[in-house]
């Protein structure tokens, strides 16, 4: 497919640059629609559906083609190009474009979105949420897996939930005594059977030293796996210290005390802290999770 050698809206007639009336009308419509709030994607989709020809047999419009029109100073005249677009309309469109670019650049620089994009997961399937940039007018979040989570969430919704949860966490009363009935170690039936077998081997007239050695190591491993870690007692002070000094923007600090972040299709976020406390952005929904004292073999200790 050959490319245009001259900007859309113009043609060469007898060696001179001339306006193509139908294309010039499309150019003016593009500027007006953009100033009225339509984004590149929507304008391109509308022109494609209408079958507007860009060049020869090419009637597929893209965001890049719309952007090139908005940026093209030739449309206000000069360098032998006749004027197609009024200067005020051109200036207004490019002011909007510049403001959108600054907003996008600012949002992309926020460590919050970078951190959440890497850590937030769907509460249905456990898949990471994708942040789809430049999707229509705003960035949108959607589960990357094919589950029932098909509702788009916008940046402002994600940010509102995140900041709300961190505020709730900072206000949370960690002084309440928890895990009163916590048992760090409970001997199972398998461990007791293993102990009895070790004793039997040791007391045998002709003990099997290789077998006894293996039984001792296997029993030690079983006992270690049966040990539980009181995460609330171990990590609560660290969680409190970091929450006291951190804001919702301090993702580097907060990442040290957060185990998991989930969100549902309605935008309701849950944050599980390393001490087993799960907090949402709703009053009265701050509870210690049932698995706050996992087996030591499954424990993921955060870096000090």
What does the DSSP assignment read for 83-95? P-S-HHHHHHHHH
Question: Which residue reads 């045998």 in tokens?
Answer: 204
Residue 48 has which token pair? 């494609």
Question: Which residue reads 């760090």 in tokens?
Answer: 184
pLDDT at position 303: 39
pLDDT at position 286: 45
Check: CB of residue 242 under 8 Å from CB of residue 257.
Answer: yes
Q: How many residues are listed for the chain in this entry?
A: 304
Checking if the pLDDT of 205 tops 80, the result is yes
CA distances 217 to 60, 191, 294, 299, Å, are 69, 12, 22, 21
Q: Summarize the confidence of residues 67-82 as an average pLDDT.
A: 91
Show the domains of the chain with their CATH numbers.
10-107 (3.90.1750), 111-178+230-298 (no CATH), 189-226 (no CATH)
What's the predicted TM-score (pTM) here?
0.50
Residue 153 and residue 162: Cα distance in Å, rounded? Answer: 13
| Confidence band for 243, pLDDT divided at 50, 70 and 90 | very high
In sequence order, which residues have a C-beta less than 8 Å from that of residue 159 and are 6 or more positions away? 112
Q: Summarize the confidence of residues 249-253 as an average pLDDT.
A: 88
- pLDDT tens string 180-191: 666 777 888 998
Q: Which of 218, 197, 223 is nearest to 208 (CA)?
A: 197
Separation of CA 93 from chain center: 31
Residue 234 and residue 240: Cα distance in Å, rounded? Answer: 12
- pLDDT tens string 257-294: 999 999 887 788 999 999 888 998 874 444 444 444 54
């Amino acid at each position: 497919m050959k490319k245009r050698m001259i900007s859309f809206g113009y043609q060469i007639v007898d060696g001179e640059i001339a306006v193509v009336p139908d294309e010039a009308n499309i150019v003016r419509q593009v500027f007006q629609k953009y100033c009225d709030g339509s984004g590149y994607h929507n304008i391109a989709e509308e022109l494609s559906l209408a079958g507007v020809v860009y060049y020869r047999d090419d009637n597929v419009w893209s965001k890049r083609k719309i952007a090139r029109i908005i940026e093209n100073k030739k449309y206000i005249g000069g360098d032998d190009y006749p004027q197609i677009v009024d200067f005020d309309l051109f200036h207004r469109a490019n002011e909007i474009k510049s403001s959108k670019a600054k907003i996008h650049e600012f949002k992309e620089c926020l460590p919050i979105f970078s951190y959440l994009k890497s850590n937030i997961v769907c509460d249905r399937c456990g898949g990471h949420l994708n942040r789809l940039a430049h999707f229509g007018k705003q960035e949108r979040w959607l589960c990357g897996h094919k589950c029932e989570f098909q509702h788009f969430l916008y940046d402002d919704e994600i940010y509102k939930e995140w900041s709300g949860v961190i505020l709730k966490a900072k206000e949370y009363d960690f002084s309440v005594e928890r895990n009163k009935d916590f048992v760090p170690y409970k001997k199972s039936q398998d461990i007791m059977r293993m102990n009895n077998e070790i004793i039997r081997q040791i007391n045998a007239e002709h003990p099997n030293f290789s077998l006894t050695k293996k039984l001792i190591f296997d029993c030690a491993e079983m006992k270690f796996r049966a040990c539980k870690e009181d995460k609330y007692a171990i990590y609560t002070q660290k969680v409190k210290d970091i929450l006291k000094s951190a804001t919702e923007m301090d993702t580097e600090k907060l990442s040290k005390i957060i185990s998991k972040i989930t969100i549902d299709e309605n935008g309701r976020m849950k944050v599980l802290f390393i001490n087993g406390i799960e907090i949402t952005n709703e009053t009265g929904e701050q509870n210690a999770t049932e698995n706050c004292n996992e087996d030591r073999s499954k424990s993921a200790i955060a870096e000090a």
